[in-house]
Amino acid sequence: MRDRRGWAGAPLLVRTAPVTTPLVGVATVLALAVTLLGGLSTLLRRRIGQAHLVGAAALELVLVVQAVVAGVALAGGHRPVELPTFLAYLGTVVLLPVAGVLWARSEPTRWAGTVLGVAAVAVAVMLWRLLQLWEATRG
């Protein structure tokens, strides 16, 4: 706390409000990119490739960061009104890209990309619900 400048900017944002609109925005953009890539592969009659894996990995990274900072904030006393629902969303959203990639990789037809896209769309939708749940701290 002595070095206040070190906490300025992005770290301050993360420290005070872990599930934030910017973080959710970045994750949403990544999720939509993965969705588009998946749809493109299906349209081009291709399986999934490097681009999908990289996109999904980037998305997963942001989601894990979000889960960690949210966990720290929860430990620090932040209490969303619907805590069980919030935790369920937080856990599921981290698992979804992994499940999507695993299942898409074992699909030999062009529908692999769509499977990954379904998971990514679900992540995007759940993130905004997560944001609502996080901000509702008082009934």
Partner 1 sequence: MADPDAGARPGEDHALGGPAAESISTDADTARGPGRVLVAVYGLFAVAAGARATVQLTWQFDEAPLAYLLSALAAAVYVVATVGLARGGRAGRRTAVVACTIELLGVLAVGTLSLADPAAFPDSTVWSGYGSGYGFIPLALPVLGLLWLRHQSEVAAEQAEERAVEPGQNSPPKSPPPKSPPNSSPPPA
Residues at the contact surface with partner 1, assessed by CB under 8 A: 37, 40-41, 44-52, 82, 84-85, 88, 92, 100, 103, 105, 107-115, 118-119, 122
CB of 1 to partner 1, least distance (A): 37
Residue 20 or 92: the one with the smaller Cβ distance to partner 1 is 92
CB of 76 to partner 1, least distance (A): 24
Find tokens 């400048």 and name the residue: 5
Lookup: tokens for 44: 């081009």
**Distance of CA 122 to CAs 8, 13, 33, 100, 116, Å?**
33, 26, 13, 10, 10
Residue 78 or 110: the one with the smaller Cβ distance to partner 1 is 110
Residue 9 or 108: the one with the smaller Cβ distance to partner 1 is 108
Q: Burial level of 27, CB count in 10 A (0-12/13-18/19+)?
A: buried
Residue 54 or 72: the one with the smaller Cβ distance to partner 1 is 54
Gap between the Cα atoms of 6 and 137, Å rounded: 28
Lookup: tokens for 21: 């609109």
CB of 38 to partner 1, least distance (A): 10
